[in-house]
Amino acid sequence: IGFLNPELGIVSIATSVSALGSLIISFSFLRLEIIQPLAERVSQVEAMHRVGLAITSQIATDTVLSEITLQATNWLDADAAGIFLLHEDELELVAVHELPQPLLHYRLPLSDGIAGQVARTHESVLVTNYRRDWKGAPDLPLARDTFGSVLCVPLMYASNVLGVLMVITGRHNKLL
């Protein structure tokens, strides 16, 4: 319109359109770089809060450990999780989320599996393809056929390992 009638002020219309375009682009960057990461952090903090509440409000250890496996699975968008507790020279699977219930109380020698390595070294391990990358003894009987990515972290008090948290995705998903 401004091209046809110079008195309508093409410059002011162009400036307004440019400002509006800049505002839209700025808002898109703000949403992508600040709002979405903060929303993800809020959900992570909420998950940690729920775990903290479970720990402080529950007397039964198995209830607390089950809540930890549930929250770890949700937090990492994984398929399953389990907690092994250290008993002398072996690890016992004492809590599971979305793993077969018959695996509860499965005992893993401390020398075997990713969980055993984590308990021995006190260091976390991430294996992105369990079947291809893990050369040691399997952590569970079904591990080689069903596990995709596996993240194991030591559960520690002071400098002592109490157990291992294992978070698992299926063979076609990736963890983290």
User: Sorting pLDDT into bands at 50, 70 and 90, what band is 47?
Assistant: confident
Residue ranges making up the domain that contains 35: 1-57
Angle at 39 between CA 78 and CA 49, to 5 degrees: 65
Q: What percent of the chain stands above pLDDT 70?
A: 72
| Residue 100 φ/ψ region, left for φ over 0, alpha for ψ in the -120 to 50 degree band, beta for the rest | beta
Residue 63 falls within a domain, yes or no? no
Q: Report the domain count for the chain.
A: 2
Instruction: Please state the rounded mean pLDDT for residues 87-99.
Output: 94
DSSP secondary structure, 44-70, as one string: HHHHHHHHHHHHHH---HHHHHHHHHH
Q: What are phi and psi of 164, to 5 degrees?
A: -140, 135
Residue 1 pLDDT exceeds 60: no
Last residue of a domain, one of 57, 87, 105: 57
pTM: 0.68
Q: What is the CATH number of the domain that holds 133?
A: 3.30.450.40
User: Sorting pLDDT into bands at 50, 70 and 90, what band is 146?
Assistant: very high
Integer Cα distance of 6 and 57 in angstroms:
74
CA 33 to chain centre: 21
Same domain, 47 and 87: no
pLDDT digits (tens, 9 = 90+) for 57-74: 656 788 888 888 998 998
Same domain, 138 and 86: yes
Same domain, 160 and 97: yes
Same domain, 46 and 88: no
Instruction: Please state the rounded mean pLDDT for residues 119-144.
Output: 94
Tell me the C-alpha to C-alpha distance, in Å, between residue 24 and each of 20, 34, 39, 165: 6, 15, 20, 44
